Amino acid sequence: MPVSALTQVTELSEDAHACLTFGEADDLLDLTAAFVRDGLASGFRVVVLSDSPQLAAAKLSWREIAAEAAVATGQMVMVASADGLVGPQGFSAGQAMGWLRDQLADSRREGYAGIRVALDMSWALRPMTGIEELPVLEEEIAAAVGGAGMSVLCGYDRERFDPVTLALIAPLHSHAVAAATYYDDPVLRICRQYVPPGIRLAGEMDFLAAEALALALGEAIRIDGDITINMANLSFIDASSIRMVTDAAASLDLSRTMVLRCRPAIETRFAQLGADRLPQVSLVGVDEG
């Protein structure tokens, strides 16, 4: 079983106040993408707050989310932190809550059945007046989501926020979400990828982690449709692991595709071992992450 996933992001209720503590930027992006995708599919208003809305939109688009189209229709709103939670005089919980309540009121007025708000909290790492009120904001969000048809996903970088703050903030949420992780040590990480569905390998993969890879692949091929093995941050993979991936691809029905996203050196390795001759495999080269 995958470990360290307290709640799957795909299983959040519509009045959830979820805390996503992430170790890698890919995790924040991937889980936010899943939260956004499911919100759009349910016909909800979706608000995404980040330091760089343009960059966030571009990254969501790569993950097969039609961000531009949804923004054009008004179903999706991309907001800069400075225009949302943070005011010109710094941060205050009251002002931030006021912004959030406005978002909720707007979405109701425009007829949306619900609203999903994804907050990249990295703005709170910058020194600013009033930041000590951050726990007050989280408490007020927790009180506001109940019965309001609003769910909020707060993303905290666990490498950059200090442990004391995280220990204080995390319990104020109703759910803790994390990527389902099959293997995690300083050399290798194997976790589920939610959007597009599949798995993500980062670091160096060899036969010593074969069991975890087999489990991850086994779960991935049970989902319907195409699957992606995202190896953009993988710098090494050995022959037995390549075989395991290609065997999994070969087991797929011919109507399905396994997309292998990898750096050129890894792409070459897959081709040398014959992966490109499998009709189910689509090798996609990427420069990095």
Q: Does 62 help bind other proteins (rule: CB under 8 A)?
A: no
Q: Does 273 help bind other proteins (rule: CB under 8 A)?
A: yes
Rounded to a whole number of angstroms, the minimum distance from the CB of residue 250 to other proteins is 11
Angle ∠(112,108,31) on CA atoms, nearest 5: 55
Rounded to a whole number of angstroms, the minimum distance from the CB of residue 243 to other proteins is 5
Answer left, alpha or beta for residue 109, where phi above 0 means left and psi between -120 and 50 means alpha: alpha
Q: Does 226 help bind other proteins (rule: CB under 8 A)?
A: no
Q: What would you report as the CA-atom Rg of the chain, rounded to the nearest whole angstrom?
A: 20
| Contact yes or no for 176/7 (Cβ under 8 A) | yes
- Cis peptide, bond prior to residue 196, ω within 30 of zero: yes
Q: Does 206 help bind other proteins (rule: CB under 8 A)?
A: yes
Q: What share of the chain is helix, strand, coil (3-state, %, to 5)?
A: 45, 25, 30
Question: At 215, which amino acid appears?
Answer: L
Q: Does 251 help bind other proteins (rule: CB under 8 A)?
A: no
DSSP H helices, the chain, are 25-41, 53-62, 67-73, 93-109, 134-145, 163-169, 210-222, 239-250, 264-272
Q: Does 236 help bind other proteins (rule: CB under 8 A)?
A: yes
Instruction: Identify the residue among 21, 95, 174, 246 touching other proteins (CB under 8 A).
Output: 246
Q: Does 274 help bind other proteins (rule: CB under 8 A)?
A: yes
State the DSSP code for 13.
Answer: -
Instruction: Identify the residue among 5, 170, 176, 208 touching other proteins (CB under 8 A).
Output: 208
Distance, CA of 115 to CA of 235 (rounded, Å): 40
If the CB atoms of residues 132 and 185 are measured against other proteins, the closer one turns out to be 185
Rounded to a whole number of angstroms, the minimum distance from the CB of residue 245 to other proteins is 11
Instruction: Identify the residue among 82, 265, 271, 284 touching other proteins (CB under 8 A).
Output: 265
Scanning 24-32, 39-47, 159-167, 200-208 for contacts with other proteins by CB under 8 A, the matching segment is 200-208
Q: Does 139 help bind other proteins (rule: CB under 8 A)?
A: no
Instruction: Identify the residue among 3, 98, 102, 207 touching other proteins (CB under 8 A).
Output: 207
Q: What letters, b where the CB count within 10 A reaches 16 and e where it falls short, cover 243-254?
A: ebbbebbeebee
Question: At 270, which amino acid appears?
Answer: F
Q: Does 221 help bind other proteins (rule: CB under 8 A)?
A: no
Q: Does 272 help bind other proteins (rule: CB under 8 A)?
A: yes
Q: Does 283 help bind other proteins (rule: CB under 8 A)?
A: no
Scanning 59-67, 97-105, 140-148, 266-274 for contacts with other proteins by CB under 8 A, the matching segment is 266-274
Tell me which residues touch other proteins (CB under 8 A): 187, 204, 206-208, 236, 238-240, 242-243, 246, 265, 268-269, 272-274
